[in-house]
Amino acid sequence: MNVTLADTPKTLAKVAAWLEKCSEVAVDTESNSLYVYYEQVCLLQASSEENHAILDTLALKDLSSIAPIFSSKSILKIFHASEYDIMCLKRDFGFEFNHIFDTMIAARILGRKEVGLAAMLESELGIRLEKKYQKANWGIRPIPEDMLKYAIHDTDYLIELKDKLEQELSERNLTELAQEDFDRVCKTPSGQYAPETTNWWKIVGNNHQLTVQQIGMLQAVCEWRERVAKNMNIPVFKVMQNHVMLELCLNPPQSEEELANIKGMRKSLIEKEGKNLMKIFKTTDREPRCIPRPPKTKIPCDSTLQRREHLRNWRKETGIKYDVPSDVILPRDIMEEIICKNPQNEAQLQSIMVDLPWRYRQFSAEIIRMLNKLEQQKEFA
């Protein structure tokens, strides 16, 4: 296999030159989210029929030369589960996307039950992938040779897999449906540079009723954990796991010795941060009004709840009929917009489903009929 490792401007220029000549290219990325606070794309893999490349995106400072590949409407980019890759590539490099084929999306539309890449390569092509480095730290440098070999296998067979799924989509007259979702995923928004901050209510869930004092402690521990994670550039779960945080606030330790007896507390963390943690548990004068509260959710009216129930049931039953997941029938965001706007004629529904022409033709009559019936029932109630 001819694989180019691009980690200098010169080797990147070479890769960009052959990518520009491709009619289609398989793409994947590797990130380091399990090992850092600020996630980055660490590798970008690309494969054509003849060539393969691995771009070291940590070594390369400027990837603008390959941006036109991703925005091109003539070069087909083949991904598996593209949403995350697109989100990360937009965030880190500002790429825009057109003309993609997503083998996972295609598989879901075709009713495949197992849609992970390894499972699909085995079932569709009889190829077994090594899973050894699924959770590897792709930020380490230099990258071991066997990790590089593993990385390129994620794109090596994608073109062949695409060809098989593309043919079946065509035979079953589902190409237009798949294209709707390929176009939609290109519009995936950019990811955030930092993870979303965790507040106390995300730790508690619905399992515990906490006192104001305990809530104050838990929020303070959440904020402490964020600071430590940022300073150490590690994920928050590697500082302290959620269940440990909750245990500390339900049964606050009275000393660093007691802190050390809490299951899940690491000795190295206590040595560095034990005193800071103990200050949190010894503070008793927190003002309730200073503690952040979960965002209020608007309670929907009865008619909205009724539309949601009926539309969900219709979507589920139609998914069973077509032997596909319910969101293949109607994406959740579009379903929620229909529920909210309650269109009563085809023109109103079409304005909501403007990016889903295949689905509109297939299902608009059923959806309008259902919504009109609910409105009539409301009038006579």
Q: What is the pLDDT of residues 29-86, one digit of tens each?
A: 999 999 999 999 999 999 999 999 999 999 998 999 999 999 999 999 999 999 999 9
pLDDT (tens digit per residue) in 241-278: 999 999 999 999 999 999 999 998 999 999 999 999 99
- Where does the chain hold its CATH 1.10.150.80 domain(s)? 200-290
Q: Out of 87-91, 94-98, 169-173, 377-381, pick the least confident.
A: 377-381
> How far apart are alpha carbons 116 and 367 in whole angstroms?
32
| Strands 41-47 and 52-56, bridge-based pairing | antiparallel
pLDDT, the chain, mean? 94
The structure tokens listed for 135 are: 């959770």
- Top CATH class, 302-380: mainly alpha
Which of the 8 DSSP states describes residue 125?
I
What pLDDT does 381 receive? 60
Strands (E), the chain: 3-6, 24-31, 41-47, 52-56, 76-79, 100-102
Q: Which is nearest to 101 in space by CA: 160, 42, 19, 41?
A: 160
Radius of gyration of the chain from its Cα atoms, rounded to whole angstroms: 25
Task: Tell me: pLDDT of 205 over 80.
Answer: no
The predicted model gives 325-348 an average pLDDT of: 97
Q: Which is nearest to 301 in space by CA: 374, 201, 370, 380?
A: 374
Which of the 8 DSSP states describes residue 121?
I
Q: Using DSSP, state whether 62 is helix, strand or coil.
A: coil
- Where does the chain hold its CATH 3.30.420.10 domain(s)? 3-186
20 Cβ partners below 8 Å, 6+ apart?
A: 68, 69, 75
The structure tokens listed for 302 are: 């009865």
The structure tokens listed for 47 are: 């494969």
CA 243 remoteness from chain centre? 24
Q: Does domain 3-186 have CATH number 3.40.630.40?
A: no
Element (H, E) at 165: helix 158-171
The structure tokens listed for 51 are: 């060539």
The predicted model gives 278-304 an average pLDDT of: 83
CA angle 166, 131, 38 (to 5 degrees): 90
CATH of span 200-290: 1.10.150.80
Task: Tell me: pLDDT of 207 over 80.
Answer: no
Q: What is the phi/psi pair of residue 179, to 5°?
A: -65, -35
